[in-house]
Amino acid sequence: MGDLDSFEGVLTPNEVKGIIEKRIRTSDYEVLDKKCETTGSNSGYLGQYFRVTIILRINETQETEVLRYFVKKTPLATSPMGKAVADSGVYVKEIAVYTKIFTEFEEITFAPVIYLSKDDLLVFNDLSQDGYQMPNKFAFFTIEQCEVVLRKVAELHAQSFIFEENITADGKKRSIQGTYGEILAETYFRDVEDSSGYKLTEASISAHLYAIDLLDIPQFRKNHLKQVSAKVMRKIYEFMQPSKNYRNVLSHGDLWANNILLKYENGVVSDCQIVDYQLAKCAPPAQDVMSFIHLTTSRLFRKQNEERLIRYYHDQLTNILANRKLDIDVVLPLDIFLESCHYYRPHAVIQEVFWYQTILADEETTSEYLRHFPPPTKSIFEDKTELVTGQWKAHGIYREMLTDTMMAFEEICEKHFPEYRRQSQDIC
């Protein structure tokens, strides 16, 4: 099987040739076998995912090599997700992050290597070949897993600070926002009535209001939550904009379990890689830090460990910058960072509510809403009430995790927004 036929419309022969030679840095080889497989029925939330395996022999050494790649392709244009990707430009954004921003960074230790990019497709090294694996989205992260991820998030953010502190040839400094603000502009969560992000926000609010009645809490608390939820949840639009008060970096914007690949050595988590930069934006480091902690841990865990993890991240960032002769007290003083973490806590909880409604659904239900072929029968941009209530009744883990985040939502309404605080138990 030495030919390079097309992979079922995924990669052309020339593209296959290109990703091989970019990897092995020679054109003197013979392809022995190759295959292309989808990663599952749903593939991905914002794309179709494939794994490509190529077995070849390098003629000079007669050594056999197995090359594995991960391919991300845009959703079918006719699907709800395809329309959302086209509407928001998130796929174009991810390509630009890899090909324009990362190429300007000093060191990429936190993301996979890209071998090919074009308008509807990206090809990376398959991290599973190096022992990285996706964590169980139904299991909260341990303190050790959190620390490994936050160390890698600090490496990502540090590159923005290094970029900004470096002096250009003409003696000037650049900012991430000033240089790449157009690329990193928030294009998904826009308060624009026809946009996919607006439709998702409204569908999420409706499902949340319906789910409040499923909670095992007193009626006066349910009534108050219903009164304030929509106003608080719509604050996501302002949280998604670059900060005017805190220093912005390239923020990942979507740090939940499926976008983090963990590596283990002798059963102990040792490293991770961060994937999927479609929702990248300009935002302070605290936004990623708080979102990650909320999207991967329980409310009880956060009460016990959140401050420790926040300080751990800052310590890691301090060390990384110190190795580049940069002073953390100039770049991001601890008191400013802690203040920004407090500010972005509500954003993290709102994001948690939005995400958990969909990402915790079982495979079959997710397929009804997100599959690529045949087109899905339902859309998360229209009505998620049936999805949420069905999963709530069918799966205890869904019920437990969504209840946990809805209780966290009630807390931020009480603690962070005085105007929405419950005045008495007599409200009805």
Residue 285 in tokens:
């480091």
Residue 56 in tokens:
């070849």
- List the one residue out of 362, 353, 370 whose CA is nearest residue 393: 362
Instruction: Classify 234 in phi/psi space as left (phi over 0), alpha (psi -120 to 50) or beta.
Output: alpha
Residue 428 in tokens:
């009805």
For residue 396, what pLDDT is reported?
A: 96
* Number of CB atoms found within 10 A of residue 129's CB: 14
Q: 397 φ, ψ to 5°? A: -65, -35
Alpha-carbon distance of 101 to 93, in angstroms, equals 10
For residue 38, what pLDDT is reported?
A: 84
Q: How far is CA 335 from CA 239, 314, 327, in A?
A: 20, 11, 14
Quick one: which H or E segment has residue 29?
strand 29-38
- List the one residue out of 289, 286, 294, 416 whose CA is nearest residue 340: 286
Class of domain 13-73: alpha beta
For residue 374, what pLDDT is reported?
A: 62
Q: 49 φ, ψ to 5°? A: -115, 140
Where in the sequence of the chain do the CATH 3.10.450.40 domains occur?
A: 13-73
Sequence-separated (6 or more) residues with CB below 8 Å from residue 273:
110, 111, 112, 127, 132, 152, 260, 261, 263
Residue 133 in tokens:
């694996």
Alpha-carbon distance of 134 to 260, in angstroms, equals 6
For residue 130, what pLDDT is reported?
A: 95
Say if strands 48-58 and 249-251 run parallel, antiparallel, or are unpaired.
unpaired
Tens-of-pLDDT digits for all 428 residues of the chain? 334 444 667 898 999 999 999 999 999 999 999 999 888 655 566 678 899 999 999 999 999 999 999 999 888 777 777 788 888 889 999 999 999 999 999 999 999 999 999 988 999 999 999 999 999 999 999 999 999 999 999 999 999 999 999 877 788 889 999 999 999 999 999 999 888 899 999 999 999 999 999 999 999 999 999 999 999 999 999 999 999 999 999 999 999 999 999 999 999 999 999 999 999 999 999 999 999 999 999 999 999 999 999 999 999 999 999 999 999 999 999 999 999 999 999 999 999 999 999 999 998 888 777 765 665 667 788 889 999 999 999 999 999 999 999 999 999 999 999 888 887 554 33
- List the one residue out of 309, 302, 291 whose CA is nearest residue 350: 291
Q: 117 φ, ψ to 5°? A: -140, 140
- Three-state SS at 307: helix
Cβ pair 384, 376 in contact under 8 A: no
Which of 1.10.3470, 3.90.1200, 3.60.21, 1.10.3820 is the CATH number of 80-120+131-420?
3.90.1200
Dihedral sign, Cα of residue 349, residue 272, residue 252, residue 77: negative
Q: How far is CA 280 from CA 43, 163, 345, in A?
A: 21, 17, 18
For residue 3, what pLDDT is reported?
A: 43
| Sheet strands side by side (includes 268-274) | 132-133, 260-265, 268-274
Where in the sequence of the chain do the CATH 3.90.1200 domains occur?
A: 80-120+131-420
Quick one: which H or E segment has residue 251?
strand 249-251
Alpha-carbon distance of 276 to 371, in angstroms, equals 18
